[in-house]
Amino acid sequence: MKQKESLVSEVGCLRGDLQQVREDRDRQLLQVQALTAEVVKYKEWTGKYVAELDHLTLKSNDLEARCSSQSEQIRTLRDQLSVADKKLQMTDLSAMETRTVFEEQTKLIDDLQSRLAIAEVKINEGEELRRKLHNTILELKGNIRVFCRVRPLLSDEDLGKEPKVYSYPTTAETLGRGIDVIQNGQKSYFTFDKVFMPDAAQENVFVEISQLVQSALDGYKVCIFAYGQTGSGKTYTMMGRPGSSTEKGLIPRSLEQIFQTRQSLQSQGWKYEMQVSMLEIYNETIRDLLSTSQSCSDVSRTESGVAGKQYAIKHDANGNTHVSDLTIVDVRSSREVSFLLDQAARSRSVGKTQMNEQSSRSHFVFTLRISGANESTEQQVQGVLNLIDLAGSERLSKSGATGDRLKETQAINKSLSSLSDVIFALAKKEDHVPFRNSKLTYLLQPCLGGDSKTLMFVNVSPEPSSVGESLCSLRFAARVNACEIGIPRRQTNVRPSDSRLSYG
């Protein structure tokens, strides 16, 4: 029994042990499970780390490769840099040399420029002196001066296949003064006091007459007129386009200069009074272009002039010309004169011909009377400036004129032929000069046969088809150039030693 009890207690102990063992086993099973899950997790991580390691290894390989290639590049760049450094040093050297050369050349240029400026001043002074001496010689010779101007081809004109008609000799004695004309293979040579080629600007032309204009302020009678075939550029030369600074002609430029000089002479005590008159000779009739009673164009166009007005031309003992009943306006500024010129231009007889869209059908005479007095020296001077734009000569066969235009053309040609008769008689020094044969020549008598300073522009067209007329004009001009009209005389009561004596 005792044994059975010990066995039962042993069994009980063993059961307790078994229970203990079971519990241990369960616990360890749980532990195994947890460890297995951990192993799985570690395996996963290991897989991830292995992949990452692979990736990093690749990356590192790549970076190593790049690093070595960049090291290579750095080496090459270093080499290049050292070459460039060397080059830079050389360039620096040559830049320094270049700078020295540049500075030397700048100095040289500065030097040359200042020498050029001095030479230009000298040339201008020389040119001024040449002009003065030339004018003095002409004055002493007492001839009518002649300037020739060849106008440029107009946009609608074309030389075509025709050979050039004009050439300009360049020898020392004819430079700027000669013109050669070829007609039918024959060459004619002319020399005048000045020849303006087609590219001469209005200003270049004015420069050559400015001293002559100036001398009207010194008490000379000055007469400038433009002669030439219709459409050859007379009106352009004399009047141009008054509103345009480059294209205004001799008349507006002369007036601007006269009023400017008047202003500057005030400081020397000179006071000037100026009077303007403007007339045209249309079909042998004088028309007053400033008359207010002629505002109606029908009246102004009548051939007998305005009723009751005589417009008789008279010359006094001093060679001063008066036209009776002519409107004379006192003027104080070039603006006032421009206004009057505008007024006159509107009443001037202009018509369209085959040769010229805006042909002057009358002779236009602008007269500025100048009387000056110097209060401090009690000197007095009286000058006259006549600026004349003649109507153009025209071959009836070429102009195709009929009716009124034909009559105008005939009147124009007649008065121009009277002008050439006068010139021929003067050139031959004949006793009788037929000044009275036309209104134009009678009006111009003191300029052509007196003691005035007279200058004629002979205008010619560049068109080969006009070469015949151009030659006639040039031959006439050569005759005019040969005319001696006496030595210009000043109208003044001052002593001849007056320092303001002009050679214009």
Ligand X SMILES: Nc1ncnc2c1ncn2[C@@H]1O[C@H](COP(=O)(O)OP(=O)(O)OP(=O)(O)O)[C@@H](O)[C@H]1O
**Residue 407: how many CA atoms within 13 Å on its side-chain side?**
7
CB 471 within 8 A of CB 181: yes
Q: Is 233 annotated as a binding residue?
A: yes
The 153-192 site mask, x for binding ligand X (CB under 6 A), equals -x--------------------------------------
466 sits near ligand X (criterion: CB under 6 A): no
Region binding ligand X by CB under 6 A among candidate stretches 73-81, 158-166, 261-269, 357-365: 357-365
If phi > 0 it is left, if psi is from -120 to 50 it is alpha, else beta; for residue 202 that is alpha
459 sits near ligand X (criterion: CB under 6 A): yes
Please give the Cα distance from 286 to 306 (Å, whole number): 10
Q: Is 231 annotated as a binding residue?
A: yes
Of Mg ion, ligand X, none, which one does residue 232 interact with (CB within 5 to 8 Å by kind)?
ligand X
Question: In terms of CB distance, is 274 or 460 closer to ligand X?
Answer: 460
With both helix axes pointing from N to C terminus, report the angle between 467-482 and 403-427 in degrees, rounded to the nearest 10: 40
The 103-142 site mask, x for binding ligand X (CB under 6 A), equals ----------------------------------------
Instruction: Work out how close the CB of 121 gets to ligand X at its nearest, in angstroms, rounded to a whole number.
Output: 29
**Which positions from 374 through 403 interact with ligand X, judged by CB under 6 A?**
391-392
For residue 436, what is the DSSP state? G
Instruction: Work out how close the CB of 202 gets to ligand X at its nearest, in angstroms, rounded to a whole number.
Output: 7
Q: To which residue do tokens 């063992």 refer?
A: 21
The 201-220 site mask, x for binding ligand X (CB under 6 A), equals --------------------
Size of the site for ligand X (CB under 6 A): 18
Of ligand X, Mg ion, none, which one does residue 358 interact with (CB within 5 to 8 Å by kind)?
ligand X
Question: In terms of CB distance, is 235 or 393 closer to Mg ion?
Answer: 235
Q: Look at residues 154, 155, 197, 205 and name the one whose alpha carbon lies nearest to residue 177.
A: 197
Question: In terms of CB distance, is 271 or 352 closer to ligand X?
Answer: 352
**Residue 419: how many CA atoms within 13 Å on its side-chain side?**
27
Q: Quick one: which of 131, 138, 139, 151 contacts ligand X (CB under 6 A)? A: 151
234 sits near ligand X (criterion: CB under 6 A): yes
Q: Is 383 annotated as a binding residue?
A: no
- Side chain identity at 111, as an amino acid letter? D
In angstroms, how far is CA 290 from the centroid of its own chain?
32
Please give the Cα distance from 310 to 322 (Å, whole number): 12
- Whether the CA torsion 20, 24, 30, 33 is positive or negative: it is negative
Instruction: Work out how close the CB of 228 gets to ligand X at its nearest, in angstroms, rounded to a whole number.
Output: 5
Please give the Cα distance from 251 to 235 (Å, whole number): 10
Question: In terms of CB distance, is 392 or 464 closer to ligand X?
Answer: 392
Of Mg ion, ligand X, none, which one does residue 154 interact with (CB within 5 to 8 Å by kind)?
ligand X
Q: Is 398 annotated as a binding residue?
A: no
Q: Quick one: which of 232, 349, 409, 466 contacts ligand X (CB under 6 A)? A: 232
Between strands 221-228 and 379-389, the pairing is: parallel
For residue 492, what is the DSSP state? B
Region binding ligand X by CB under 6 A among candidate stretches 81-89, 174-182, 229-237, 369-377: 229-237
In angstroms, how far is CA 4 from the centroid of its own chain?
151
Instruction: Work out how close the CB of 304 gets to ligand X at its nearest, in angstroms, rounded to a whole number.
Output: 24
Between strands 194-196 and 145-150, the pairing is: parallel
Q: Is 249 annotated as a binding residue?
A: no
Of Mg ion, ligand X, none, which one does residue 113 interact with (CB within 5 to 8 Å by kind)?
none
CB 388 within 8 A of CB 254: no
**Which positions from 236 through 275 interact with ligand X, judged by CB under 6 A?**
236
CB 321 within 8 A of CB 369: no
DSSP reduced 3-state for 330: strand
Q: Which DSSP string do the residues of 237-270 spell out, in sequence order?
A: HHTB-TT-TTTB-HHHHHHHHHHHHHHHHGGGTE
Report which secondary-structure segment, H or E, holds 287: strand 285-288
Q: Is 229 annotated as a binding residue?
A: yes
Question: In terms of CB distance, is 193 or 463 closer to ligand X?
Answer: 463
Q: Look at residues 414, 452, 454 and name the one whose alpha carbon lies nearest to residue 434.
A: 414
Q: Is 89 annotated as a binding residue?
A: no
CB 358 within 8 A of CB 196: no
Q: To which residue do tokens 């499970």 refer?
A: 33
Phi, psi dihedrals of residue 248, rounded to the nearest 5°: -65, 150
Q: Is 327 annotated as a binding residue?
A: no
Q: Which residues bind Mg ion (CB under 5 A)?
A: 234-235, 360
Please give the Cα distance from 182 to 179 (Å, whole number): 10
Question: In terms of CB distance, is 150 or 331 closer to ligand X?
Answer: 150
Please give the Cα distance from 471 to 476 (Å, whole number): 8
- CB atoms inside a 10 Å sphere around CB 150: 23
Question: In terms of CB distance, is 392 or 488 closer to Mg ion?
Answer: 392
Instruction: Work out how close the CB of 403 gets to ligand X at its nearest, in angstroms, rounded to a whole number.
Output: 17
Which residue is at the shortest CB distance from ligand X? 392
470 sits near ligand X (criterion: CB under 6 A): no
Question: In terms of CB distance, is 135 or 359 closer to ligand X?
Answer: 359
Instruction: Work out how close the CB of 273 gets to Mg ion at its nearest, in angstroms, rounded to a whole number.
Output: 31
State the residues that interact with ligand X by CB under 6 A.
Answer: 151-152, 154, 228, 230-236, 356, 358-360, 391-392, 459
Task: Detail the residues annotated as belonging to a binding site for ATP.
Answer: 228-235
Task: Detail the residues annotated as belonging to a binding site.
Answer: 228-235
